[in-house]
Structure 1
Amino acid sequence: MKTFNIIAFALLFALLGGACSKDETKLIAVPKAGASLQASVSSIVLTKEHADETALVLQWKPADFGFQAAVTNILQVGVKGKNFEGAREVALTAGDSSYSFTTLELNTLLLAMELPVDEATDLELRLKSTISPTFTELYSNVLPLSATPYAAISFLYVPGAYQGWAIETAESLISPTSNGVYTGIIYFPEGDLEFKVTTQRSWDAAYGDDGAGRISLTASGNIRAPKPGNLELTVNTNENTISFKDHSWGIVGDAAAGWENDIDMRYDNSAQLWRATVELKAGPMKFRKNRDWGTNYGGANGILNGDNIVIAEAGTYHVVLDLENGKYSLTRK
């Protein structure tokens, strides 16, 4: 009986000793504290005139995971009150303890978040620190930042077979706020559907077809429009994607080629106007979108409305449709 008790006690001691050893190992690996983050300013109004100047400097003391390890840091920028849901992330170089934004870099980041321009938005900043996927991330203290971005239009260019591959005269795609999403409308004739997308009016950096609606600066193949006609292109350089959809305006009516036969207009991306030079007869006409009566305009005295436009005298006309301002013009040559 005494022998049994001794054996039982020894087993219990071994189990307790083993448990203590494991607990001690876990304690060594338990993280201690996230990074300590500081910013040079808590409020900033960005202006285009200072685009190349330093706007924001962040400094930090590294997170302490309880032992020596290589730490990877990511800066998170989110709208205040959203608990960093949908926050923008900036990967930071391992080993660095500071990071600087120029005005242009910070403005680009804020516009990519679709923040209103010329208006202050309350933001929050923090560092996410990791050492391995098997360890829980550590987060720094949260810093407030009131930031006011400015409007910044940027362009991409689309040289292709539709215009003889001339980079100097290629149509442009526009990003009104430089948030990485560019749109434009291009007319592709039958048989001239291939093109590329360039960052400047040069061939130094050109996006090619990377398959399945994706584009890449390293892809050599030409991008191809899905069909001829007026198409609206959307290029997202944040996700390296391209998409197409129908977007056309035409002239219909007794003054043109009838009420169901559209004379296609061409879109001028730089001026954001639809244009056509056409032979018109005396009689009524209208503009309609995508060869359908769901969206159509007539007008009088250069102002768009629902009435028919009446052509008083036959001839060759230069027609301009300004949808942004609700106007049109008819100039007889």
Structure 2
Amino acid sequence: VWSAAANSLTLISQGEDPVAAFEEAQAQIAAAIEIVQSTETIVGVPGSYQSTVGCENDWDPACEATFMENQGDGIYTLTVDVPAGDYEFKFALNGSWDENYGADGERDGANIVLSLAEDTTVTFVFNRNNNVGTFVLADRVIGLPGSHQDEAGCESDWDPACPATLFSAAGDGTYTLTLTLPAGDYEYKVAMNGSWGENYGADGERDGANIALSLGEETEVTFTFDPATNVVTDSVNN
């Protein structure tokens, strides 16, 4: 509230229209009150990219332009067009820094790095079930459909478009996805761009066999996809 008022005074001192400045302050204050009164968890994606997508400032957890959409089952997404550049971001809850998550879902954790060689449509994904967040790029959306998905926050199994099981770029040409799964026997494949039109199974074979994964106890599993070979591996079997 006080920052909104201070911003309006700053604008007036710089020769801006006083009426317009205070109307902007009122809008910011109203938005802050709405966040406080809301019973639904609001997830934002503050970072150094925000000023490029409509926010007044970077690293603003209360900017509505970078609030995520609740997809249900604890999954939140935000899709924005980001210009080429090197950025960092985190996930913040309810418009403040009081509760925020960085790399590997760690509370108050390290910033997550986003490097774009060209202007790119970026989808940020946050899983409230484990507080792990990531991002996917529009030119290469890679999913991990399988019988494990309902345990990972998806509405149903074998869904190639579920945001909770999308890979993110590892920075070395490969893509990774880390999930914590309960004990059980599962099968999975890799599917491209949210559909079954292009999918890869065992040994990187297109439309190939499902890959088996057996867990004797709850386990954190990291899946790695290499687009050069279309082979997907996991940290349990490989």
TM-score interval, smaller chain: 0.3 to 0.5
TM-score (norm 1): 0.30
Higher strand share: 1
Bigger Rg, structure 1 or 2:
1
Structure of higher RCO (CA pairs closer than 8 Å, 6+ residues apart): 2
Q: Per residue, is there more helix in 1 or in 2?
A: 2
